[in-house]
Structures are given as C-alpha cells and as structure tokens.
Amino acid sequence: MTMDLTPGDIVFLKKGDKVPADLVLLSTSYEDGNCFIETSELDGETSLKRRNGLPATMHASTPAQVTQLAGRIQCELPNENLHKFEGVLYVQGADTAVPDGAHSLSSSQLLLRGSFLRNTDYCYGVVVYAGVETKIFKNLKQGGLKFSTMEDKVNTVVSLAFAYNALMLVVSMILGQQRIADVQKASWYLQAAGYVDLDGTASGLLEMFMNAFILYSYTIPVSLFVIIEAVRVIQRQFMVWDDELKSVNGRPMRVNNSNLNEDLSVVEYVFSDKTGTLTRNEMVLVKVCLGDMVTSVAELLGIKQPTDAMRQLWRCILLCNSAIPSTENGEVTYESQSPDEIALLNGIRAHVQLVQRTKNTVRFTELGVPVEVTILAVLEFNSDRKRMTVVVRDETGTVVAYCKGADNIMVPRLRCPATDPALVATTRHLHDFSEQGLRTLVFAAKPLANDAYARFQAQLDDAARALDDRDARVARVADHYERGFDLLGASAIEDRLQDQVPETIEALLASGIRVWLLTGDKTETAVNIGHSCRLVPRDMTILRIDAPTLPDLAEQMARCWDVVAAAAEGGDQLRCALVVTGDALAMALETCPRELLAIATACMSVICARVSPIQKALVVRLVKTELGVTTLSIGDGANDVSMIQEAHIGVGIEGVEGAQAVRAADFAIVEFRALLRLLSVHGRYSLQRLSYLVVYSFYKNISFITIQFLFGFWNIWSGSTNYSAWMMPYWNVLYTFLPPFLYGFLDKDVPESQLRRYPAAYMSARDASPWVWYRLVAWTVSSIWHTIVQWFGMYWLFDGTGALTVSGFTGDVYQYQWLNGITMLLIVTAKIALQSHYWTWITVAGLVISLILYVLTLGVVEGITLSQLSTGGAIDNIPIGTNSAMYATPAYWFVAAVIPVAALLPDLAVAYWQAQFRPDDATVLREEHAQLMARTYPDLAAVEPGMTKKPSLAAVAPAPITIASEGEALKTTALAPLLAPGATAASPPPRLGARAGD
Amino acid sequence: MSDDKPKTRRPANTAFKQQRLKAWQPLLTPKSVLPTLFILGVIFAPLGAFLWHTSSSVSELVIDYTQCSKASPTLSAPTTSIAALSAPGVTAGPNVQWKYDNNQCTLVFTLPADFPKPVFLYYRLTNFYQNHRRYVKSFDPSQLKGLTVTADTIESNCKPLGKVPGSTNNAVYYPCGLIANSMFNDTISDLVTTGNNPTTYQFSDKGIAWPADASKYVKPANFDYATNVPPPNWVKKYGPAWNASNLPDLSRNERFQVWMRTAGLPNFRKLYGRNDNADLPAGTYQMTIDDNFVVTSFGGTKSVVISTVSFLGGKNPFLGYAYVAVGSVCILLSVIFAARHLYSPRKLGDHTYLSWNHQPPPNSGNN
C-alpha cells in the first residue's frame, strides 16, 4: 500500500498505525485537531509528540467531509531535515464555513513517515512526500554492498601472484628461446625431415607462450574465492547457531552480509545508539524517598494505609503531569509525552490511579475512592525550566500548587533552609540514586491562599495576552510564583538497561575499543545512560560542546582543547568524556571537523546527544575517513539506519521497533551484550581463519607451480608437466581443498575461554594475522624452500639413476609425475597441519581424505584405462601399470617420507623458536590454557573438556565478564593458586574450574 | 541468556554447531618439540645409514661408449675414463679396453667379483629430452593397438611424423611419431668371456617392460603394406617398406615398449636385457655394440650399464644421504634447542609476554 501513495493522496490512520508517508495533518478524532505521534524510529525518543491540524481543515473528520476538501499545498522540495517543514496550504472554499485562503504549514502539521499514531483514535492527512522523497528516506544513505577490508589485501596478493606468474612466464620465454637455439634445434629426435619447423617462428613462440601461460596460471588459486565464500557462509552459520548469541527465547542472530565476518575483529570504534540498544526502552519507578525514608515501589503493594506524607506525594505525582489515561478492559493505561511520567504513574498505581483528564478537571481514584479536582493553571515543562507546576483546586476547595523538577532546580525553590533534616536526608538519597544510575525527580507543593491565587492568575493571563515577548513574560510570572514550596519527596526512575550492558561496555573498552554514544535523545538522558552503562564513570570530567552559535562554539572548543593539551603534556590519560549536542555538532562538522575529532579522540568516551540520523552518519564518516580505522555502528531504529550503513560494519538490534535497522545492518543481533562475543570470538576466529586460509591457498599454489618452472630447465621449456595431467586440474578442487576449507571454520588460535578472560586479546587478533610483510615474506620463503627440497629430492632420485624396484624396471615419466604430486601434496598438507592449532576429528579426516583422494583418482584412472585396454580399446597417454606398482616399491615410500620432513623442518624450527622465545599473545594464552586444562582435567590433557558428552551447566554459562574485565586482578588472584609452582593438581581450582568448560 | 532455562527449550545443540568439538590443541613447547625432533633424528639417521649400505651392496658397471667410434680397430685403453665400477668389497677398476671396427664397438672389461643374479643390462642416455612436450605427445595409441586409424588422425597425433611427406597415397609411418622414430637402435650383444674357452652370459629381452605395457600393443591383423611405411630412422634396419617378412610384432618387442615409456628427466636408463637365472661370474668379458644411435649431435652420451639390484632397486645413494642429513639436522636442532632451553628457559603462559602488559590499550584505565 505504501508504494501506491503519491503526493495529494489522503490517508486515514487509526491508533497505532505507522505513518506510511510524510503527511500534512488535516483532522483528527479530537475536535481541536490535535493528535499524538511517537517518533522513536526516527530519533529514538519514546515520548509522544503533539501535532495539530489547521483550523481550516480540522472540521473534516468524516470521509465525506474530507473528500470535499479541495485545495493545494505548496512546500519545500524534499529534504532530509526532520525538524523543519515549511509550506502553504491553499484551501478552496468548497465548504462555505471555511474562508478561502492561504494557511502556513510548519513541522507541527507534519506526520513523518515511520512515526506511529498514538493516543488518537484516528486522523486524516494528505501526502506531501511519498516513497523516496520522504524525510526519513532522505536520511538514508545509499547502502550498497560493503566489502571487507581483507578484500583489498586479497586483491593485493592476487596482483602479486599475477606478477610472479608473469615473471615466471617471461623468464621461461627468454630462457626457452635460448635453449631452443642451443639444444632443441640440435636434437634430431625432436625434428622430422620435411616438417615445417615451428621453433623460433612467431607461431612457435605463441604456442610456447600459451603452454607456459596455461601452466603458470595455477599460481592463482581460482578455487580460493569459492572457498572464501563457503567458509563465510559457515562462519555465518556458526553465529546463527551460537546459543550464547541467542535471545532468551532462542531467537538466533542474523547475518545479512557475511563479507564482513573477519572485520569484526579489527573494530576500533563502536558507535552505539541509546534507546532500544543500550536501554530496554522502558522506564520503571523503582524508589520513592520521603524525607529520610526510602520506599521501594515493590513494597507499596504491602502498604494498605499510606501515610499523609505519602498521600501528598502521590497527589503531586498524579496531578503534576500531562499524561492521559485510557481504560481498556478495566485496566488503566497511560500515555504521555514523557516516559518518566508513565513510569511514575505506573509505580504508584497500587494506591492511586488516574481515571480521566479533561481540559479543566482530573478524576482519579485514591485507595479506591474516586476524587475529582479542578485544574486551574498549568506551567508546562520545558528544557529551560526543567520543572512543571500545576495549580489545582482540590475536593475540599483548597488551592494547591504542585511542582516537580530536577533536584538542582527544585532545591533553591524550597521554603526550608538547606540544613533542614528532611532536605539533607533527601539530598543524600538523591545522590545515592544517581550513583546507581537512576533518574531523579523532586516533588514539592504549596497551598495558595485565594487572594494569592487570584493575583497569580491575573498576572498569568496578562502575560499570556501580551502581544510581544509573550513567552518570556509568562516565564517571569511563573518564576516569581514557583517559590517557597514544601518538599514532598523524590522519586528514582530506572531507565532500564538491557542485560549485561555495563559489563559489555566495560569489556569492549578493555578490549581497546572506543565506544561513542550517538542518540537523538536529550543530553541529560544520554549522560545518565552513559553513567549507568559505565561508559562514563561518575568521577569522570565531562567536557561539553553545546554552544548555539559559532563564536560560542569556537570558544568552547578552545577551552576543551586546553584541557586536552594540558593532559597530553602531563602524559596522562585524559579522564574526560566529551558531550556534544546536535546543533553544535552540525556547526563543528561544517567548520572544524578535525579539531572536534582531535578533542573527541583525546577523550575516553564521547556522547553525541540530540543528533539527527544523518548527523550520526556524518560522525561515523568523520572518524572513518579521518582516522582510517574500522568502525562499527549499532542501533535498533530507523534513525540508526544511516550510521549503520555508513560504518564499515553495521549491527542492528532486533528490538521492538520495526525492522529497518535490522534490514540495513550487516549483522542483526538480539541484544547488545551479544556484540562482545560477536567481536571477540566470532570476529577473531573469522579473521584468523580466513586470512590464513587465503595466505595458505597462495602458498600451496605457488609451491605447486614453482617446481613446474624449475622443471622447465630440464625439458627445454617445452611446457611438459611435472605432475600427472590427470591430477593438475584437481589440485585445487580435490587434493588441497579440504584442509584449508576446514581450517577456515574449525581452527581456533586461542581457546574461547581465554578470549573471555582477556578482553585485551582482541586487539592482538590483527597482530596475529598474516597481513604483515614479514609474514608474507616468510610464507614465500617457505614456499620456495619447499619447492627446492622437492625438486632436488626428485632430481636426485630420478635423473639418470637406475632401477627403483627389485624388478629392475626404471622409473618412467608417470612415476616421476605421480611421486612429484604426492610429495608436494604431503608437503603442503603438513604445512597446514603445522599451522593448525585446533585438531578436531574433522580436521584429521580432511587431511586424510585429501591424500586418499589423490591416491584414489589416479588409481581409478589407471584401473579404468587398464580395463579399457583389455577390452580392445586404445587409450591415450595414460600412466597405466606403473602407478599401482609404486605402492610395492620401498624406494618411493622412503622418498615420500623424507622429502616432506626435510621441507618442513625449517618451518617447524622457526615456528618453535618463535613460540618459545618470541611468543605472541596467542601462544601465551594457548599455553596458559593448556596448563589450566592439565591441572583441572589431568586425564584429558590438551583436549578441551566441555565437549565431553554432557556439557556441564558451567559450559554454557554466560561470559564471566566481570572477571574478564579485570585481567590484571585475575592474574594475581584467581590464577595465582593455579599457577603458583607449589600448587598441586589436587587443590580444588577455585572459579576457573567451573568456567574452564567453555 | 538461556543458561538456566530448561534444556528442552534449547534448539538442537551439537558440539559442532557450538564450535565445541573435542579437539587436540598441540603446542610447540620444549616438552613436545625437543623429543619429536630427537626421535625423528634417531630414526632417520640410522635408517639413512642402512639405506646407504643397501645402495652400496649393489654391483654396477657403467661404460660410456659415446666416443667409441673414435677408437682404433684394435683393442686399446681409452684415453679418458669412461667406466665406473662399484661392487661390494671391490676396489679394482674394470680395465676397460675398446675397439671400433665396421660400425661396431667392442668393449672388453674385467669384473673382479661375481654379480649375483638377477643381473640387468641397461643403456643410459644423457641430454636426451624424452620429456619434451612435443616428443611425449607424438604417438598414436590406436595405431599401436592395431586398430584402423585414418591418416589424418595419425597426422595430428603423431605430428611431425604422421603422414609420409610427399606421399601420393596418403601413406603414414608405422609406428608413427617422434618417440617410435627415435627408438634406441644400437644393438648390444650378450657378454662373452675372453680367453680360450669362451662362455656366453645371456641377457633376455623378455620381462624387461612393465607387464601392463603388453596390452597396449597388438600386431595389426589386416596390415596395409602400401600405406604404412617404416619411420625414417628405422629404414636402416628394416628397409624402406614393410612387407610380410620384416614387419615387427610390437606386442612382443619389449625393447620397443620400454622405449615408448618415456623418461621423466633428460638423463635416463632403460632396461635392455636381464638374466634372472645365473650370477654373472667374475672374469673378463667382451661386449659388442652395433653403433647406430647418434647422440653427439645434441651433446648427449650413451652408456651401457650392468647392474644388480637390492630391494631398493639399483644403485642410488641419494636416499641414504638424505636420511642421514635430515636425521642429523633433527638431532642438531634438538640439541641446540635443548641447550637454549636449559640456558634460559621460558615459563609457559608467562603473562609478561602479553602485548597489553607492555603497552596498555588506550581505554584500559577505565576500570
């Protein structure tokens, strides 16, 4: 349906509907033309927003009336600004009740695509932007498939391999021409009288070139790309299968783009959304504080008779809000612009419940007794005032002003002195609350004498009628009267984080990853969440960049820079968090992005609040391009789609809010906590497996074909093959396919338990990868050495020598080729065996099957041709009768054993020397793991436990992140008894024993 | 997390899917590597000695007769060393003398010790590229199998020796191709003792080809003598045309079959004859060779080889050397590594080697 909409269409929406296009609101179920929408998918804010239809159209609330509306709308061209809309509505006077004319349109008439209609039964709207022209769509970045950073490296290696290929080609052509002149032309057995001699002619040259070209093209492991894809698919499946990445009800994660598996291990910056990503998107009132008494909400049910003080506080909570109750099936639900208000009302519903709110009255039940009070005045909440006041005339006729607000605003407005015991106690509790990451509000009230109220009302009305500077006047009146309150109490609301978010963030930070929080939500909320998820420890200094104008911004940034520079001079880690707000960010991004980035990177954590989707993406782009690091964005809503697409890796959280983020993401996880495991375990393994798979694939092919090059010296570069023509095409797809393929999803360079224990090992994953020049050189040298060993082994065995069997027959070209194939296969198979750290039965099977396949194919070829021959057919150049005889020939067994050992000996020696005297992190962690295993399960030695038939519960226990984040402490405490020389295997391993099972 | 939820709610959960397969995780530690190297060395080095010993138990006489045509018609010692004799316990040389007469090379040599049976006679060619791509491909299996093959097929398979150039009746060579044409055509005689009472030590030309080879060759049933011509190099022996009397039966010509089984490298030996029945007694022997095969034009050599075998085949010290070398290196490495380990051992799993204990990551101060 959404796709059929075009501008000008009129859309009817019911409560809860998602807005399908950008609409100009015409009319709603409310007579005043108001409706409420929720824009959490657009900006992450869960509070309701009010939109109002123009008087010119709001009367048209039936289909018939709406269809009679005629007119036109003039508006801006489609753009990405979510908060701004300008237009003019021209309504023709079809209905005489409405005068013809122009009405200006603003964003308060605009219902954005992707928002939801809330709290309003129905509404009508006319489409202004549809489809790709909608604002949210304009905020989407063009997606496009992302490719791994390894892709470049693979391409580089491919180019190098091509260069090597070309070099061999050129050298063999040059040497070939020379040898033809020197030897071939003189060899009568290669010539025939009357035969047009091709040697030295252009077509002879071409033939030679083609032969060499075809042979050397084996340098490029063509099957590699297929293997990479297959391995990625399996790696993806491992993520999907992983129980620890599943939601509580068993929903697995999804991988939309497995091209990026290995990049998960090189992430340096994580950009996280807040709402629905870190938080659960639900606020809960957990505690209330009355003087020095703190009551948890859970206890309220048990309190049948609330105290007076409590009832006073309940009144204030009940009346001083803008929530609208609605009753369904006898159950009251609240809707409000502020989720805090809903949390407050829900928290105290055991005692009091709102029943109905009209413009001037509020009806509620107090301990089951219905009460009705009259609303006299409302001083709305806004971000400058940070407080809200409601003046009511209660059921006894008393006029009372109720006020709630942030503690720093409210305390000065109280009547009592700062030393008042109740206030002191409350302040102390408030401090505790916020320490725990709770959001606090202070409630107060004061009775108003009738004359005082009358004065206030008169002044307020005056101010409200003023023609100019109305808002400021009202603010002044409000400020004057909102004083001298009596303290009622305070509340603590928990913006509930998802499971293990603080632990996960802590572990990410310990992994050396920077975590930036980018949210559309308010600064305070963002900072609060930053505290509670331990991104910004409470004792951390906060630098703010929130200036509204350019000069202020410059000054602010200069100040920040001073702090940063001072810290840099002192050589200290800057214990600072940077908080940037949307407008300032927009200006900074435009005028001085590098300076902003310099400050941001000097700080430990960065929070960007009030940022639009496109700004989120711009921040990601800035870091991505300026720092050249691998970035990851994680979010759950449509407002995160842009940054998800902009980052190298986009991670979506399958939350309650739609599926747009999940669709745009490369990886869709079920909860934030899964990110850690995705990066540190799956990412690391994917990188290590894939990169060695790639390097190995080139190694084995270069080894395979370099010997072919050497053979050229001994066959006048004629293009004869060193291997059986029957095995060469299968080298990649049969004989050397399985070991690297299996390595690509089975090997583990560091045991999982060690990765959990040491988050810092994350950063060393890239150090262990082969993409550094000296490792590539080492692989090349190894390849050349193997070629040389094999070549001379074969040469000395075969060249001009006598019989190799007791039968006296000398070896022929087929045996030569067969043996070359098997020794080369043994060498490259041994090489990957040496590279493997994790030998499962599949690994072993892969190695064995590869060798068997080789023996089998040539055996089968020989068998088939033999039977063909015996039935009278003729066969082409087939190695019959000699291959099978080789198995009975001891000399071949001896040579097939010694060549691989001689070839791999230096590899083993170097690997041992490195592991022993220049161990990398992986080596040390493996060793420690083996020690732990040996002590915990002496009988299993190096075999991982946990894989015994019945995994213990501990084996599937969640990551012990709390311990993991204290790698240092662990070393001296938990590990100490295990690693101490005196410790005996019999001593019960403390916590590690249970955990070693993963 | 689903940890303490009832198991029934968990989906099928195999060790494979959870990447928890039981695995052996080998480590390169002194405990594992040093013994491995040492044991390898202890196995390889003596094995090498044994292989070397086996190789030297083989008796072998090689005589290079490439330059025989320059020898005088009377017996004389060659001016350069052309022979090599190695037999267990033998230090004396073979005392080769040669003469060349009427296109025939006569070699006289002395065997100081018996050659135990079976005794094999080989010819050895060097610098002969039987592995050249053009050469290797140049034969027609169907023709050899005695099947009817069109001249065009033969022309393409046996290039450049398929059709007879200038032939008016589409005649082809039989057998066609470079391999067949270049067949070794020196004739090597049996060994005859010199002296008053000459005895002959015979070499059989049966049982010298791989048994499977026989099935590749069939004597054609309806041979067309008009359109099949001997290859150029065979003319000297068989004449310019085939007829019922001179047509060879390739399926019984094992020397041909041996020749057709091409060698992998440009220096090679091929079996020419064998004697499984009698030891070759020590003594002085004479051997005559009809000298037809030209090798000097391409800088090659040709030799005759008389050899016995061990279970490893003919004489080839390479395996012995290789095993001794590899075994020694293994032991050497294990000693060096052990010394290094004793001198400054490294504690396994030592945290001071962890990279983050050298340079703390940027955010580590957060905890």
pLDDT recorded at residue A299: 83
Chain-centre distance of CA A109, in angstroms? 36
- CATH 1.20.1110 in chain A: give the residue spans: 152-234+681-918
- CATH 2.70.150.10 in chain A: give the residue spans: 2-138
Question: A194 pLDDT band (50/70/90 cuts)?
Answer: low
CA distance linking residue A235 with residue A229, whole number of Å: 10
Calculate how close chain B gets to A187, using CA atoms only, in Å. Answer: 5
CA distance linking residue B195 with residue B284, whole number of Å: 8
Q: Testing the interface with B: which of A269, A270, A812 to mutate, by most B Cβ within 10 A?
A: A812
CA distance linking residue A82 with residue A39, whole number of Å: 11
CB A44 within 8 A of CB A519: yes
CB A273 within 8 A of CB A44: yes
With a cut of 50, say whether residue A993 has pLDDT above it.
Answer: no
Radius of gyration of chain A, Cα coordinates, nearest whole angstrom: 38
Q: How far is CA A477 from CA A272, A422, A452, A546, B239, in A?
A: 42, 29, 13, 28, 133
CA distance linking residue A181 with residue A309, whole number of Å: 112
All residues of chain B having their beta carbon less than 8 Å from the beta carbon of residue A840 are 21-23
CATH of domain A284-494: 3.40.1110.10
CB A271 within 8 A of CB A633: yes
* Sequence-separated (6 or more) residues with CB below 8 Å from residue A325: A332, A333, A334, A353, A354, A355, A356, A357
CB B314 within 8 A of CB B60: yes
pLDDT recorded at residue A196: 56
Segment A25-62, tens digit of pLDDT? 988 888 778 888 887 777 666 667 778 888 778 788 78
Annotated binding-site positions of A for Mg(2+): 273, 275, 636, 640
CA distance linking residue A269 with residue A632, whole number of Å: 6
Segment A82-102, tens digit of pLDDT? 777 888 888 876 554 545 677
Residues of A with catalytic function: 273
pLDDT recorded at residue A857: 85
What is the fold of A2-138? Answer: 2.70.150
Position B39, amino acid = I
CA distance linking residue A723 with residue A732, whole number of Å: 14
Segment A351-403, tens digit of pLDDT? 888 888 887 888 998 888 899 999 988 888 876 777 899 999 988 889 999 99
Segment B77-102, tens digit of pLDDT? 998 889 999 999 888 889 999 999 98
* Sequence-separated (6 or more) residues with CB below 8 Å from residue B259: B179, B180, B183, B184, B270
* Sequence-separated (6 or more) residues with CB below 8 Å from residue A319: A362, A373, A375, A390, A392, A402
User: DSSP readout, A195-232?
Assistant: ----TTSHHHHHHHHHHHHHHHGGGS-THHHHHHHHHH
The number of C-alpha atoms within 13 Å of A867 and in the hemisphere containing its C-beta is: 5
pLDDT recorded at residue B99: 93
With a cut of 50, say whether residue A431 has pLDDT above it.
Answer: yes
Nearest to B9 among A250, A748, A758 (CB): A250
Q: Is A273 helix (H, G, I), strand (E, B) or coil?
A: coil
Across chain A, mean pLDDT equals 83
pLDDT recorded at residue A710: 93
Segment B98-133, tens digit of pLDDT? 999 989 999 999 999 999 989 999 999 999 999 998
What's A485's DSSP letter?
B
All residues of chain A having their beta carbon less than 8 Å from the beta carbon of residue B1 are 244, 248, 499, 958
Segment A923-970, tens digit of pLDDT? 999 999 998 888 877 655 444 444 333 333 333 333 333 333 333 333
Nearest CA to A967 out of B123, B126, B354, B195 is that of B354
pLDDT recorded at residue A397: 87
Nearest to A816 among B135, B264, B271 (CB): B264
All residues of chain A having their beta carbon less than 8 Å from the beta carbon of residue B307 are 802-803, 808
Highest mean pLDDT among A307-311, A417-421, A649-653: A649-653
With a cut of 60, say whether residue A568 has pLDDT above it.
Answer: yes
Q: Which CATH architecture has domain A152-234+681-918?
A: Up-down Bundle (1.20)
What's A89's DSSP letter?
E
pLDDT recorded at residue A44: 63
CB B119 within 8 A of CB B307: yes
Using a CB–CB cutoff of 8 Å, tell me whether B343 touches chain A. Answer: no
Angle, vertex CA B209, rays to CA B208 and CA B212, nearest 5: 145
Chain-centre distance of CA B328, in angstroms? 27
Annotated binding-site positions of A for ATP: 273-275, 341, 381, 404, 439, 519-521, 610, 616, 639-640
CA distance linking residue A189 with residue B298, whole number of Å: 9
Segment B326-350, tens digit of pLDDT? 999 999 999 999 999 999 888 888 8
Segment A664-681, tens digit of pLDDT? 889 999 889 999 999 999
Q: Report the residue count for chain B.
A: 367
Token digits of residue B255: 């020397």
pLDDT recorded at residue B325: 96
Token digits of residue A681: 């375990």
- The distance in angstroms from the start CA to the end CA of chain A is 49
Minimum CA–CA partner of A951 in chain B: B15
Higher pLDDT: A171 or A574? It is A171
Segment B349-366, tens digit of pLDDT? 888 888 888 754 444 333
Question: A184 pLDDT band (50/70/90 cuts)?
Answer: confident
Q: Does domain A254-275+509-669 have CATH number 3.20.20.210?
A: no
Q: What's chain B look like in SS3?
A: CCCCCCHHHCCCCCCCCCCCCCCECCCCCHHHHHHHHHHHHHHHHHHHHHHHHHHHCCCEEEEECHHHHHCCCCCECCCCCCEEEECCCCCCCCCCEEEEECCEEEEEEEECCCECCCEEEEEEECCCCCCCHHHHHCCCHHHHCCCCCCHHHHHHHCCCCCECCCCCCCCEECCCCHHHHCCCCCEECCEEECCCCCCEECCECCCCCCHHHHHHCCCCCCCCCCCEECCHHHHHHHCCCCCCCCCCCCCCCHHHHHHHCCCCCCCEEEEEEEECCCCECCEEEEEEEECCCCCHHHCCCEEEEEECCECCECCCCHHHHHHHHHHHHHHHHHHHHHHHHHHCCCCCCCHHHCHHHHCCCCCHHHC
All residues of chain A having their beta carbon less than 8 Å from the beta carbon of residue B297 are 186-188
CB A258 within 8 A of CB A236: yes
Of the candidate ranges A409-418, A900-909, B39-48, the one whose mean pLDDT is the lowest: A409-418
Of the candidate ranges A1-5, A667-671, A703-707, B256-260, the one whose mean pLDDT is the lowest: A1-5
pLDDT recorded at residue A144: 64
pLDDT recorded at residue A784: 93
Q: Testing the interface with B: which of A182, A211, A810 to mutate, by most B Cβ within 10 A?
A: A810
CA distance linking residue A953 with residue A941, whole number of Å: 21
User: DSSP readout, A228-266?
Assistant: HHHHHHHHHHHHHH-GGGS-TT-PPPEES-GGGGGGGGS
Nearest to A881 among B20, B211, B263 (CB): B211
Across chain B, mean pLDDT equals 89
CB A974 within 8 A of CB A992: yes
* Sequence-separated (6 or more) residues with CB below 8 Å from residue A541: A563, A575, A576, A577
- Whether residue B160 is preceded by a cis peptide bond, meaning omega within 30 degrees of 0, is yes
